[in-house]
Each structure stands twice: as C-alpha cells, then as structure tokens.
Chain A
Amino acid sequence: MLLSVEDFGIEFHDHDKPERVVEGVSFTLDKGEILGIVGESGSGKSMTALAIAGLLPRKKLKKEGRILFEGEDVLTMERHKLRTLQGDEICMIFQEPMTALNPTMKIGTQVEEALRIHHTQMNDAARKERAIKWLENVELDDPERVYESYPHQLSGGMRQRVMIAAAMVGGPQLLIADEATTALDVTVQAQIIKLLQKINKESAVAILFISHDLSLIRQISHNVLVMQNGHLVEKGAVDDIFDHPKQEYTKKLISAIPKVEL
C-alpha cells in the first residue's frame, strides 16, 4: 500500500464561523493503481488532493485524521521533510496548464527543476538528457525545441504534457492529476488520458485522477471514489461503481452522463 488516508477532514477558520469542507474521508491507494475521485465542485476532492500533495495553506485551517504516504503522516510531517517528498515522490498537475507554468522561465529549466532540487548529484548534461527524454515520453514533437521554448509559445495541450514531464522527471510513486484535462478540448483530453495510462503502465506510478467528468473517470480508473459535500459517498472498483451503484447520489450522477445513441 502506497497511500492510506484515514478519517481525514479539513475545517476552514478564515471566516467568523468555522466551515467544514472535508469530513471523515478514508481510502487507500496501492502502488501503480489509478484511483479516480469524482464529485461536483465543492465536494472536497481538490482539497483532499492538495492535502496529500502537502500544498494546503498552513494557516487558518484545521486538518484532522492522517494521510500516510509509505507509512508516514504527511499532515504532521516537518516541512523540510515534506519537501523531500514533494516533486520527488509525490507530484501534482493542475487544471490550468496556461497558468501553471512560470511565464518567464524556459520549459527546460522548469522540467528539470525537480531534478535540481532532489537529485543534486546529477550534472547539467545528465539533467538535460533526462528532461529531453521525458519531453519525448509525453509525446511532444521536437523535444529539443520545446526544451528551449517559453510557455507562451506552446498550446494548452502541449503545456499540460510539459507539466506531466516536469512531474514525472524525478520518478515519483504518486502523480496527482487535479482536473488535469478539464481546461482542454475533447480531442486533447482523450490524448492526455491515453498518455497518463501509458505512463502508468511504463513507470508503475500510481495516479490519483480527480475529475467531475464521469466518463473520463470510467475510462482511466481502476478504482473510484465518489464524493459529495466533503463526504465520501461510495468507493469501489470502477465496474462495480458504474454497473451496480449502491448509493442514490452515485446513481443520479451516472444517469446524468449523456448517452450517445448510434
């Protein structure tokens, strides 16, 4: 088991009244597994993802329960220790590829950054070689040219590929994709899903795939969590959830998928 989330909860304290956004969420993720989390916006799925990646703000927020990554609690871990996991063992890609890259830094530098931080023994040439290899792995044409480019010279789909390359370059155990295909158009979405599946097979990286789109979740996931209003509604293998949903909310979600009559 790679990741174990136990009775996890978040309470915001930035307003007068404390606000619970996640409560009593428990699940596990095995090495090499693709786990989908589905839910509407505000269901707490992104908050859970940010907590696992150690990216929740430290102030005005109360965290409960435990998030064990390889047996160690990410929530209570000291920050410098957490940083050794971030970018090396746990990586994350985000919804907006247009803004998730630094506009004034070359793609190559950004892809290599995790190596520069975590693999300090590597020299410049070795880092560049690894970065180019990953730009190739994410199926970007002419990786040498992309390496020297700036983000504004690439399309949204290309930038999301760059984000994946930058996340994978350190050889992580867990890749968190938070609505990573939502901002892309449908054909690019399908390509990115295929790419994530390929990377999952080849690198044996576990993927936490978060989306509000059930058909994408069904396509990519091995197991699925359904979340609503900060609670875990249902969890199970992807076929069980889609073919024999137990909870009313899950049934409602599934019946809302538009069906294409041929």
Chain B
Amino acid sequence: MLLTLLAVSFIVFAAFEIIPGDAAVSRLGSNATKETVEALRVQMGLDKPFIVRYLNWLSGFVKGDFGTSISYNLPVSSMILEKLPITVTLTILSMIMTIGISIPLSLLIAKYAGSKFDRISYGTNQFVMAVPSFFLGIMMSWFFGMVLKLFRPGGYISYKKDFGGFLGYLILPAIAIAIPKCAMSIKLLRSAILTEAGKDYVRTAYSRGLSTMEVLYRHVLKNAMIPLITFWGMAVADMIAGSIVIEQVFNIPGLGRILLTSIANRDYPVVEAVIILIAFVVLIMNLVVDILYRVVDPRLRKD
C-alpha cells in the first residue's frame, strides 16, 4: 500500500516535469522579466534538479508537511482540509442514493423478471447507463435552475454558513452522479438476484411459507449483494475521482475544483497532495471491500 502511494507520488511529480509550463511564470504573469522569473524560481527552489525537489517534497510529506501552495501561498493541508468535507459529503449523498434506490428497484424488477415491466426497465436502464454524469448535471442545472427555477445554478452555499442549505445545494449534483451508478447497480443486482433465486435454499424458504417479497428481502438480497460489494467500493473511489467534472458543472469548490485550478497554475504541492489523497481513498476502499466481504459472507471468515 505504501509502495503504491510512493509510485503514485513519483509519477505525478514526473508528469509535472514533462508537461510544459512553469509555476513561476504562471504566478508572475507572462509580462514578467526573465530576471524576476529566475529570482522567483530560485526562491521557490525550482532551479534544483528534479530528483532533489522530489526528495525534498517527499521528506516533508512523510513528516506531515504537505508544503505550501505556490499560487495561494497557503499551507496545502489546510486548503485540503477545508475542501475535503464538500467532496466527501457529495460522495456520501451519491452513494446513499445509489444503494437506496438500486436495492428496492432491482428486487422489484427481479420479482417481475420476464414481464413487460422488466423489459421496459431494461431499456431505460441501458439508456441511462450510457449518459455521462456531467451531461446529466448540465441538463438538470438547466431544467431545475432555468426552467423550474427551483435551484440557483452556481449558488453554492458554504457548509460553514448553512449546513442545511449546503446539503440542499448538493442534492442535484448527487443525483447526477448517482443515476448512472444506480443504473449499473440495478443491472448487476438484477442478474445476481435472479441467479440466487434459482438456488435450493430459496425453495426451502418458500417451503416455510414465506411470500416472494419476504424470500427476496430475507434470503436472496444478502447473497445477491456479495458480488455488488466490489462494484460499490469502486463506485466510491470513482465518485471522488470523478468529482473533478461534476464540481465544475455545478460550481462546487470541492477537491476536484482545487485539483483542476492547481494543475492549471502548475501548483504541484496541491496536485500531489490531492492525487495522493485520491489514491489513498482507492486503496482504503479496497480494504473496506475486503472487510465487507467477510462481514457479509460467513464462508470467508476464518474460524
């Protein structure tokens, strides 16, 4: 896990070496004289060789010093800590919607498998799955904001000022993120439910006098969710990484937003920290998935 994070940090650092652009130039503007740019480069330590800069940065990172933002002159850690709750809340909201909608809906669809309802939902699902979140976001912004005027596009409310208003603002972006994930969950869950429903223990459950809905909820669901755990874990990581786009669409100043602006400004300490954070979340989600497997499936537990 540490090795993975190390590799990620190195690659990001190297990428900044390769792409054109200079932090000093972007800070001073393009009319600055060569001398002032050079002076600033020396002051920022940009004149040192690549590997020295990397090791300097790394040793600071290990000590818990994430460095100072080049463009804002603020400590990176406090910048990230301020933005993190926004993206995390957005992800949690989207995840709650994804799971909360896909479970009952897949059970319903599975119950009527083969019926007209099943076929219609299959078609709708296939269509929804193909629509990217950002497009949904733009359409929803336009429809709810411009047509219905229920929502003020760009009217983000800080969680520090009004948490309720903040949550309210995040609902639409969360829906935009959740809908395609929901469609995929339903597709996977429907087939998992149908596979499980053909198994012997389901017949046993029926023989005890349970109704179809009780059989599905009490017996089938838990078994059918096992293959979904991996997908949901990946979805969380994907939502955090994908926040870059949706935060741009809805003008939310979250992690994705600072990642984007700092890439534009060549603000590598911020980019490094955000990307390592995202990589860390992906790794943590893998761990959580493994733990959840053991919680849900007793066959994987060690006695």
Q: Using CB atoms and an 8 Å cutoff, list the residues of chain A in contact with chain B.
A: 53, 55, 79-80, 83-88, 91-92, 94, 96, 99-105, 113-114, 117-118, 150, 152-153, 163, 166
Q: Using CB atoms and an 8 Å cutoff, list the residues of chain B in contact with chain A.
A: 199-201, 203-211, 219, 222-223, 226, 296-299, 303
Q: Is the CB of B203 within 8 A of A94?
A: yes
Residues of chain A contacted by B303 (CB below 8 angstroms): 153
* Separation of A117 and B205 alpha carbons in the complex (Å): 11
Q: Is the CB of A99 within 8 A of B298?
A: no
Q: Name the residue of chain B whose CB is nearest to the CB of A150.
A: B298
* Separation of A96 and B303 alpha carbons in the complex (Å): 24
- Can you identify 9 A-B contacts, CB atoms within 8 angstroms? A55-B203, A84-B209, A85-B209, A86-B208, A96-B200, A102-B201, A103-B298, A104-B223, A166-B208
Q: Is the CB of B208 within 8 A of A87?
A: yes
Q: Is the CB of B204 within 8 A of A100?
A: yes
Residues of chain A contacted by B203 (CB below 8 angstroms): 55, 94, 100
Rounded to whole Å, the gap between the CB of B97 and the closest CB of chain A is 25
Residues of chain B contacted by A87 (CB below 8 angstroms): 207-210
* Separation of A84 and B298 alpha carbons in the complex (Å): 31
- CB < 8 Å: which of A80, A102, A104 contacts B296? A104
Rounded to whole Å, the gap between the CB of A184 and the closest CB of chain B is 15
- B contact face: mostly helix, strand, loop, or mixed: helix
Give the number of residue pairs across the A-B interface with Cβ within 8 Å: 72
Rounded to whole Å, the gap between the CB of B263 and the closest CB of chain A is 45
- CB < 8 Å: which of B204, B211, B297 contacts A104? B297
Q: Is the CB of B209 within 8 A of A102?
A: no
* Separation of A166 and B205 alpha carbons in the complex (Å): 11
Q: Is the CB of A103 within 8 A of B201?
A: yes
Given A94-B204, A152-B299, A99:B210 Cβ within 8 A: no
Q: Is the CB of B201 within 8 A of A99?
A: yes
Q: Is the CB of A105 within 8 A of B219?
A: yes
* Separation of A153 and B299 alpha carbons in the complex (Å): 8
Residues of chain A contacted by B222 (CB below 8 angstroms): 104-105
* Separation of A117 and B215 alpha carbons in the complex (Å): 12
Q: Is the CB of B223 within 8 A of A102?
A: yes
Given A153-B303, A163-B204, A102:B219 Cβ within 8 A: yes
Given A94-B200, A99-B199, A163-B204, A104:B209 Cβ within 8 A: no
Interface centre among B206, B208, B297 (most CB of A within 10 A): B208
Residues of chain A contacted by B201 (CB below 8 angstroms): 99-103
Q: Name the residue of chain B whose CB is nearest to the CB of A99.
A: B200
Q: Is the CB of A100 within 8 A of B299?
A: no
Q: Is the CB of B211 within 8 A of A103?
A: no
* Separation of A55 and B199 alpha carbons in the complex (Å): 14
Q: Name the residue of chain A whose CB is nearest to the CB of B303.
A: A153
